[in-house]
Amino acid sequence: MRLTPSQIERFRAQGFLVLPELFSRQEIAVLRDALPALYAEDTPANIREKRSGEVRTAMGLHLRHPVYRRLVRHPRLIEPAFQLLGDRVYVQQVKINTKAAFEGEVWQWHYDFATHHAEDGVPAPLALNLHIFLDDVSEFNGPLWFIPGSHERGPVPAALDIETTSYPLWCVGRDTVADLVAAGGIVSATGAAGTALIFGDCLVHASPPNLSPWDRRIFSLIVNPIANAYTKTGRPDYKHHRDLTPIAPLADDCLATAPCVAAQ
């Protein structure tokens, strides 16, 4: 798995890439099968919706399940990251963002570096967010909305929002969003389960609530160059892992041969 020169060029210009069905239905089934047990765990790494108590975000998964331990070294995620960042990167954060049917809340307009810089002391906006859709994602179940090109303005002003939703988030103000959208528009990142996204640390994005009867679960791996590591450790380690071991990719069939799969 290598990005083509035109994909790299598009990533640099727009700030994101959509890779339709990068993972097979069978691989997605392996990832989904692990979820009920993970969601049932009583751990602070399972962050729950304010109103319903359902798991909104399950974090630190590579330390909690053998399938996810493999997924964070999957070459279809890591080889593209090496192309964009060089080959000395570490696992910064590993999670699934769930938007449960009828329940999933809005995420306000934000970009990840605002949090990475303010909370973790990450020096530069280099980290990549690598997503895999675990469900079909449509306009109806809370897709990510990207503002193409918004990363080019560098880190725009942001302020901490602790009121709107269950998860404190550094958000971008309305005037700034209006300016960015006037220039770049909005793109909804939709696709079948197995579709992957790559987006950078300054790309401004949001997502609407899930009013539909369809769950929307997305796996997210954030990788960051070791030379650009955290300088603060105020947040729990499942929000920014401390282990700076360089990621070494596994074989392309690593999910099919994962221990808990082989054992079935």
Among 206, 226, 229, 244, binds a second copy (CB under 8 A): 206
- Choose which of 32, 69, 209, 226 interacts with a second copy (CB under 8 A): 209
Report how far apart the first and last C-alpha atoms of the chain are (Å, whole number).
28
Which residues, numbered 42-101, are part of the site for a second copy (CB under 8 A)? 101
* Minimum CB distance to a second copy smaller for 180 or for 250: 180
CA atoms 75, 78, 84, 85: torsion sign: negative
β pairing state of 187-189 and 46-48? unpaired
Q: Which is nearer to a second copy, 181 or 229 (CB)?
A: 181
Query: Exactly one of 11, 23, 68, 109 binds a second copy (CB under 8 A); which one?
Result: 109
Interface characters, 160-179, with a second copy (x: CB under 8 A): --------------x--xx-
Taking CB under 8 A as the rule, does residue 182 contact a second copy?
yes
Please report how close the Cβ of residue 182 comes to a second copy at its closest, in angstroms.
8
| Cβ(129)–Cβ(198) below 8 Å | yes
Q: What is the dihedral of CA 56, 62, 63, 69, to 10 degrees?
A: 150
When binding is defined by CB under 8 A, the residue of 102, 136, 161, 256 that contacts a second copy is 102
- Whose tokens are 């602790």? That residue is 162
Kindly tell me which of 82 and 140 has the beta carbon lying closer to a second copy.
140
The secondary structure element, H or E, covering residue 21 is none
Output 7 or 212, the one with its CB closest to a second copy.
212
> Can you tell me which of 145, 146, 170, 230 binds a second copy, judged by CB under 8 A?
145
Long-range contacts of 152-155 (CB under 8 A, 24+ apart): 152/15, 153/180, 153/202, 154/125, 154/202, 155/111, 155/113, 155/114, 155/117, 155/125, 155/202
- What is the rounded distance in angstroms from the CA atom of residue 28 to the CA atom of residue 217? 11
Binding residues for a second copy (CB under 8 A): 101-102, 106, 108-109, 139-140, 145, 174, 177-178, 181-182, 186, 188, 206, 208-209, 211-213
